[in-house]
Amino acid sequence: MSVPVWPYPARCAHRGAGKLAPENTLAAIRHGAAIGYRMFEFDVKLSADGVLVLMHDPTVDRTTSGHGRLASFTLGQIARLDAGSWHSPAFAGEPVPTLAGVAAWLRANHCLANIEIKPCPGREAETGAAVALEARALWAGAAVPPLLSSFSSQALAAAGAVAPELPRALLMHRLPHDWLAQVRALGCVAIDLHHELLDAALIDAAHAEGLKVLAYTVNDPGRAAMLAGMGLDLLITDAVDRIAFA
């Protein structure tokens, strides 16, 4: 799968439209698409029986009707969870989607993906490899592949080992002094930083090294405009109703 030179749009919806609809569900992705967004960030974990599903937290408690660690649930058990009622009654009964199901919808509707590899504790390499292999298969023949990102170096290294052609971004809460060496060692094409860490000098420095720069999670339109003016490549936002897609 060949990767065109940075084929992604300037705006990406965080966890689907994860504030206006239940995060990490197809309902959220459809909502963002209806507004006009064409790229979606979402979190992926492995179930107990090795199926990739969308979920942010290590437990299912916050965003579903269930209780306990996601890693202890089989796909059959996950399928019985209500992932919508916590948000609002309109979404009652919304299921936890699989990566395969989301990929099918995105490809059918000409939308793009930023898959955050969000491993359950202790499953970093396993999850990274599983996401990369399944993404390769699910997006086979696609003009634009999904962008894989993670805070876990182990997960990104494993993803790169099994599917080196898929573009990867290193997520960082802070900027260590050796950030460039880390990015190079992992073969990443981009850094993905909390927006408060970014300024024009850092964006320019990354660009000088041939890297793209992403920012999360930017919900203020003024800050979004400021970062765009600095040359930011991709902005991730919850505020899909207030920050125009591009």
Residues noted as catalytic: 14, 56
Q: How far from each other are the two terminal CA atoms of the chain, in whole angstroms?
A: 25
How far is Cα 170 from Cα 172, in angstroms, rounded to an integer?
A: 6
Q: Are 38 and 16 in contact (CB under 8 A)?
A: no
Using CB atoms within 10 Å of the CB of residue 69, give its burial: 0 to 12 exposed, 13 to 18 middle, 19+ buried.
Answer: middle
Give whole-number Cα distances, 96 to 20, 37, 226, in Å.
17, 21, 36
Dihedral (CA of 146, 10, 87, 57) sign: positive
**Which tokens go with 193?**
């930083």
212 CA to centre of own chain: 16
Q: Is 143 exposed, middle or buried (0-12, 13-18, 19+ CB in 10 A)?
A: exposed
Taking phi first (over 0 means left), then psi (-120 to 50 degrees means alpha), and beta for anything else, what does residue 114 get? beta
